[in-house]
Amino acid sequence: MSSAIPGHDHAVPGSDPRSAPVAWVSRAALTANVRAARERGIRSYDPSVLDADAWGHGAELVRDVLTATGFERSDPGAAPGDALAAASLFGLPGAEHAVAPALRLSGTVLSVKDLRAGEGVSYGYAYRAPADTRVALVTGGYAQGVVRSLGGAVDVAIAGERHRIVGRVAMDVCVVEIGDAAVPRGAEVLFLGDPAHGEPSLGDWVRATGLTAGELVTTVGLRAIRREAA
């Protein structure tokens, strides 16, 4: 089961939700991260965790999780470490303790085509195939937070297999090299997941772009269709 996070489902009524990338925010992951902090003796949260619509995760959902677990807003003079910080709450790279990412970003394969050696893809044909291969056109571009510098630098996962984004990332789509993998039209493409399960991670994006984890996850959460995962 999943549902739209109030005020942030950008899908056009009646449209196929797979036609655009979706940022799935897990209530279960948020709750687990908050409870883990509580076990360490933390009982309040840094007010900054609610900035920018809770760093793209949805302030209403995040506030509900914090309230349900008995957390209160910390005092302005609270010492660092005494309150729950964004990295630990949202499961971002750099968190002091093991936490699960609360946000996953997935897209969809729109089409698959053969690419001959020397043929290029995307703007300016910045990428040209060194050998015959196959590529997939995937929903998800810089308008949804898949920033341009990720082209040629990070992988996505399709049916558990890793495939590289190639060429320049476009506004709403990108191209993924799939080789001889059996990838059908409509297949789910995972841009961001849980590195503990071997999935593409936000840490990969940080290393590829030079942006912070907070900047990246907030951009994704504010720009992609956002839904609550079970």
| Domain containing residue 196 | 103-229
Question: Is residue 31 in a domain?
Answer: no
Confidence of residue 10 (pLDDT cuts 50, 70, 90): very low
Evaluate whether residue 71 is within a structural domain.
no
In this structure, is residue 18 part of a structural domain? Answer: no
Mean of pLDDT over the chain: 91
The answer, yes or no, to whether residue 25 has pLDDT greater than 80, is: yes
In a domain, 196, yes or no: yes
pTM as predicted: 0.90
pLDDT at 4: 55
In a domain, 135, yes or no: yes
Can you say whether residue 211 is alpha, beta or left, with left for phi > 0 and alpha for psi between -120 and 50 degrees? beta
Domain contains 212: yes
Percentage, residues of the chain above pLDDT 90? 83
User: How do residues 60-91 score in pLDDT, each as one tens digit?
Assistant: 999 999 999 999 999 876 766 789 999 999 99
Residue 127 domain-assigned?
Answer: yes
Contact 184, 190 (CB under 8 A): no
Share of the chain above pLDDT 70, in %: 90
pLDDT for residue 5: 55
Residue 229, number of CB atoms within 10 A of its CB? 17
Query: And the tokens for 147?
Result: 């920033």
pLDDT of residue 80: 66
pLDDT higher than 70, residue 9: no
Q: What is the mean pLDDT of residues 135-155?
A: 96
Burial class of 100 by CB neighbour count within 10 A (0 to 12, 13 to 18, 19+): middle
Query: Which residues does 147 contact at the CB level (< 8 Å), separation at least 6?
Result: 169, 205, 209, 211, 216, 219
pLDDT value, residue 124 = 83
Residue with the larger pLDDT of the pair 48 and 4: 48
What are the structure tokens assigned to 19, written together?
A: 């036609």
The per-residue pLDDT for 113 is 96
Q: What is the CATH number of the domain that holds 154?
A: 2.40.37.10
Residue 1 domain-assigned (yes or no):
no
Please tell me what DSSP assigns to residue 132.
S
Quote the number of domains for the chain.
1
Tokens describing residue 181? 């993998």
CB contact at 8 A, 185 and 110: yes
